[in-house]
Each structure stands twice: as C-alpha cells, then as structure tokens.
Amino acid sequence: MAAVALADRLATGTVLGAEGYVFELERRGYVKAGAFVPEAVLDFPDAVVELHREFLRAGADVMVALTYYAHREKLRQVGRESDLEAMNRQAVRLARQVAAEGGALVAGNVCNTWAYDPRDAATAGVVRAMYAEQLGWAADEGIDFVIAETNDYLGEALIALEVIQELGLPAVVTLASTQPARTWDGYDYVEACKILADHGAAVVGLNCDRGPVTMLPLIARIRDAVDCAVAAQPVPYRTNETSPTMESLRAEGSGRVFPLALDPFSCTRFEMADFAVAARDLGVTYVGICCGAGPHHVRAMAEALGRTVPASKYSPSMDLHPILGTAAPSRDRDVLDAWNVSP
C-alpha cells in the first residue's frame, strides 16, 4: 500500500500519531528506565515490531522510527556507542517494515540531546553533528519526514530543523513544555512555535510532559498564532493546574510519581478520545499521544475521529457482557446486586 504524503494528509484530514515507545517497551521489560535508551531495537527487534504493529492496527498514520535517545551522548552513557549506526539504521528498517503493512508514513526521530547549552556556543556544533549523523542514516534507509521532539530549548530545536531541511525532508518540530510558559532558553512557548514556523517547519506544537487538560489551552494559543499545521501529542495522564506536567504530579504521601508510578493518574481511553476530538475541533491536524500511550488509547482516538481501523474488529461490544449487557436480566438477582453495590 503506497503511503499518502504528510502534506496531503494534513491538508485533507487529521494525522494520528502514536508515540511513547520507550515508556511502553520499558513496561514490557525491554528498555531500562533511567537511561531510557531504546536498546530493544537491536536486542529485541521483534518487540519493537510488535508495538509498531499494535499502533498501526489501532489507527496510527505514522510509524516513528525508535531512535529517541539513540544519539551519541546517550549511547556513550550506556556503553554502546559502537552500536550507534546499527541502532539508528535498524530502527528505521523496523518502522518501514510495519508501515508497509498499512500504508503508514515513516518518520525519522530526533530529540533533545542533553548536550545543548545556550551559553556555550560550542555545544551547538556538537548537537548539530549528533542530529546530522542520526538523520543521515535515517534518510539513507528511507523516511518520509522527521519528528524533532521534546525540545526543551528553542535553540536546539532550530538546529534540528536546519539539519532536517538540509536533507530536504518535511519537519515536525515539537517542544517539551515542562515549564509554566517558557522554553529553557526563555522563549514563550507560543513565540517559540511561531519562530519554528517562520523558519519553515511543516508542523509545530507540543508533545509529551503535559496531559490533555493542561496541553489543550496552550495548544489553542499556538493554533491561533501560526499559519502552519499544529501537532498536539500529550501524555495520557491526568495533569492539572497545580501539577501541569507528569513530572510535577505528586501522590499523597509518596511524593513524585514520574516516571515509574504514574499509573494511578492514567487517562482512560474515553478521556483520550475526547482529547482527540477537542484538538481536532481547535484546528489541530496532527493529533497524537506520547509517553504512557497504549494501543487502546490510540484506537479510541481513531474511532472518535470517525475512523474504523483494523483493531476496530475487536472494539468493545458491551451488550455482549453477561452482567452489563442485554443478557443481564436473565441473571440471578444476587449476582446483579453484587455488581450494583454502592458505598
């Protein structure tokens, strides 16, 4: 199945993105929390393929090559610098393999490097070289566009954008929004998106960190400020005004819950479906989900956007449930009462 280009999809409908690969593969036992380096790309490629396929079946339009944190700085930290090229190339091959099964697009992926320092001009060159080698390999393997994401600094995002443009590829550039209003180099998030759009990014916006409730108001302001397409990919966690990001969420008595104890704050599939519709209604054309995502979220989002996807074959039919469905009246009264006890 041939893939329709990103620009055409954005012009005619909503592109659905599914990310959070590193988080999900960590939960499945294939990625080490802390470092969060996607070693599974080389060590357990079948696990990566499986997750790609689950997101594809759930309706994702883009298979994002799992090169998040597969950059030189991170691989050095885990002692796998010699695997750098193999990991980056293999990640694109796995994404391509699954994308071809459903006409999805393939995105190359770079992220914040932790090597950028706006006060030290030399770091810009280091970052640029890291992006250039990762994306050079990705372009060589064959990608449709690039997502540069979780950018804490506008300066670092602009370096990624430049490298992507030098490769002649469309760029989706999204910011991390861990601070209340500004990037780490002091740009208001809305202004930063405007600058990225002015520099030629095809899509700008936010991903990760914020849940739907705290991302939407900021996204609405970004949507109003730029002419290009906008992306919104929140984490499926119940962030709020006091704790606008998953990093700032706190559980009573036990303190910080990021990143390993976020489960009680998880959004349901219905909340993510509502988010998808709300984002679309704001004029967001690249709607997605980030760390914490499961295929059930993605399918619910796709269906809320009016689609029937391969995994819809197994979407809920609660009328078939023995207690909650149409057969319930034939059940023993005591059984029904046990389900209906209210405190």
Residue 149 Cβ vs Zn ion, minimum distance, rounded to whole Å: 8
Residue 214 Cβ vs Zn ion, minimum distance, rounded to whole Å: 14
Residue 159 Cβ vs Zn ion, minimum distance, rounded to whole Å: 20
Q: What share of the chain is helix, strand, coil (3-state, %, to 5)?
A: 45, 15, 40
What tokens appear for 255 in the block?
Answer: 């303190």
Amino acid at the residue 193: C
Under the binding rule (CB under 5 A), the answer on residue 291 touching Zn ion is: yes
Under the binding rule (CB under 5 A), the answer on residue 231 touching Zn ion is: no
Task: Mark the segment that binds Zn ion (CB under 5 A) among 6-14, 41-49, 288-296, 316-324.
Answer: 288-296
Q: With beta carbons less than 8 A apart as the criterion, state whether 239 and 227 touch.
A: no
Amino acid at the residue 326: T
Residue 95 Cβ vs Zn ion, minimum distance, rounded to whole Å: 17
According to CB under 5 A, which one of 290, 293, 304, 311 is a site residue for Zn ion? 290
Under the binding rule (CB under 5 A), the answer on residue 148 touching Zn ion is: no
Total of residues contacting Zn ion (CB under 5 A): 3
Under the binding rule (CB under 5 A), the answer on residue 208 touching Zn ion is: yes
Nearer to Zn ion, 3 or 249 (CB): 249
d(CA 129, CA 3): 30
Task: Mark the segment that binds Zn ion (CB under 5 A) among 186-194, 200-208, 265-273, 313-321.
Answer: 200-208
Rg of the chain's alpha carbons, rounded to an integer? 20
Q: Is 211 exposed, middle or buried (0-12, 13-18, 19+ CB in 10 A)?
A: buried
Residue 259 Cβ vs Zn ion, minimum distance, rounded to whole Å: 10
Nearer to Zn ion, 170 or 211 (CB): 211
Task: Mark the segment that binds Zn ion (CB under 5 A) among 62-70, 221-229, 253-261, 287-295.
Answer: 287-295
> Which of helix, strand or coil describes residue 23?
helix
Nearer to Zn ion, 208 or 298 (CB): 208
Task: Mark the segment that binds Zn ion (CB under 5 A) among 133-141, 223-231, 242-250, 283-291.
Answer: 283-291
Residue 290 Cβ vs Zn ion, minimum distance, rounded to whole Å: 3
Nearer to Zn ion, 194 or 258 (CB): 258
d(CA 274, CA 207): 17
Q: Is 123 exposed, middle or buried (0-12, 13-18, 19+ CB in 10 A)?
A: middle
In angstroms, what CA-CA distances link 154 with 112, 132, 264, 269? Answer: 10, 18, 32, 32
Residue 98 Cβ vs Zn ion, minimum distance, rounded to whole Å: 20
Cα angle 32, 38, 276 (rounded to 5 degrees) comes to 100
Q: With beta carbons less than 8 A apart as the criterion, state whether 267 and 238 touch.
A: yes
Nearer to Zn ion, 141 or 209 (CB): 209
As beta bridge partners, residue 286 has 15, 231
Under the binding rule (CB under 5 A), the answer on residue 70 touching Zn ion is: no
DSSP 8-state code for residue 104: -
Nearer to Zn ion, 3 or 41 (CB): 41
> Rule CB under 5 A: which residues touch Zn ion?
208, 290-291
